[in-house]
Amino acid sequence: MPRQLREVVFVDGVRTAFGRAGPKGVFWRTRADDMAVKVVRELLRRQPQLPPERIGDVLFAATAQVGDQGLTLGRDVALLAGIPETVPGVALDRMCAGALTAMTAGAGEIALGAADIVVAGGVEHMGHHPMGAEVDFNPRFVAERLVDPSAVTMGATAENLHDRFPHLTRENADRFAVRSHARAAAAWSNGVMRETVVPMSVFTEEGWRLADRDEFLRPDTTMEALATLKTPFRPGGRVTAGNSAGLTDGATACLLAAEETAAELGLPARMRLVSFAFAGVAPEVMGSGPIPATERALAQAGLAMDDIGLIELNEPFAVQVLTWCDGTGVDPDDERLNPYGGAIACGHPLAATGVRLAAQLAYGFRERPHVRYGLTALCIGMGMGAAVVWENLAHGG
C-alpha cells in the first residue's frame, strides 16, 4: 500500500580542521579513519540525548577507498567510534560529492522509514592517497575518444572553463580568491568556525600538537601576490595555486533524522532537506556540473534562484564558481554566496566537502532567520554536479 514519505532534518554537522596534504601537513602521521572517528564521536558528545543504538546507518564516503580509508568505511568508523555493533555501515564514492551523496542516501533511508537517524560523512587523506595515484584508468576512455584526455586532470578542466568562457579572466578568478581568503579569515576571527571545527590531537615530527585551524588560510592574500604565481597546468594559463583549493586532508560528519524522531529525542532540527539533484556534463568541463544540478534541484522544489537566500558553493577553482555564477545569474560578489569563504581558503578534501558546506549553511541559517531557503552545491570529477536545497527551520516567517 502507498506510504507517506517522512521529512528529513539536519541536526548537526562538524569537521576536523583541514590540513595540508603531504609530509609537511598536520595529519601526515594520522590515519584517515581515525579522523573520521573523531568527528563522529564529537557528534555523539554534542547530542547526549541521542541513544547510539537509535542510529539506523552510518554512511561514509571516500574517493580513494584503499589503505586507511578502505574496508567498508562506514562500518569501520562506526565500530571504532563506539557505536553499537547492531548499527550497520556502508562506504560509498561520488568523488567530490561523496559526503553529499552520503547525506542524500541516508535521507532516502529516513524518508522511506528504513532508519530514523543516520550518520553521514566523508574523509579524504590526500597525503596518504594522492588523487588518481591508485587508479587504473581504462585506456578506452582516450583510445575511443569517450572523454577528452584533459578530463583526468582537474586543473586542466579548470583551464578548459577559461577557454570556453573567455570573459571569465584570470583577474576575475584572482579577485574571487582574495574574497574567499578575506571572508574565511573573518569567519575564524569572529567564531564561526569554532562551532563546526573539532580540534584533534595529532602526532607530528615535533611531537603531539592540536590540529585546530585550517592550514591553507592566507588572510594576507593580495591581487598583486596572486598575479606573480605560475600556471602549472598550461604555459600562459590562468589557473594557479592561488585561485585553486589546495590538496587537503580532512573529515566531516553530520546527523540527519526524521523530523518526528528529532522532536521525540529533543534533537535540534536546524534545517529541512527540500530537494536534491545530480547531473552529468562533459567530463573535460566538469566544473560546469553544478549549473544543471542547481536547475534541477530548484525545479523539484518549485523555487527560483531569487528564492535562495544563502548559498554554499564549493570552490575547487575560482573559475568553477565564476562559471556557476555565469550560468545561474548570480553575481560573484553577491552577499548570499559563501559568506564564510570557501575551499580556496580552507581546502577541499574531496569526499568530505559536502558536509562542510551543509554545516556552514546551517550556521548561516541560524544567523539569518529572515532567510528561508539555502543551497549547497559542488562540481564532481569526470563530469558531474550536485545540488541540495534546504529550508531554514529558524525562519521567522
Which helix (H) or strand (E) covers residue 254, if one does?
A: strand 248-258
Active site residue 129: no
Q: Which amino acid is at 24?
A: K
Whole-angstrom Cα Rg for the chain: 20
Query: Any catalytic annotation for residue 96?
Result: yes
Query: 318-328 vs 170-189: helix axis angle to the nearest 10?
Result: 100
Catalytic residue of the set 96, 254, 325, 346:
96
Burial class (CB in 10 A: 0-12, 13-18, 19+), 220: exposed
Helix axes 154-164, 318-328, angle to 10 degrees: 40
Is 348 a residue of the active site? yes
Q: Calculate the alpha carbon distances from 330 to 296, 322, 337 in Å.
A: 16, 9, 8
Exposed e or buried b per residue across 145-169, where buried means at least 16 C-beta atoms within 10 angstroms of its C-beta: eebbebbbbbbbbbbbbbeebeebe
Identify whether the C-beta of residue 97 lies closer than 8 Å to the C-beta of residue 129. no
List 125, 129, 162, 348, catalytic entry = 348
User: Annotated active-site positions, please?
Assistant: 96, 348, 379
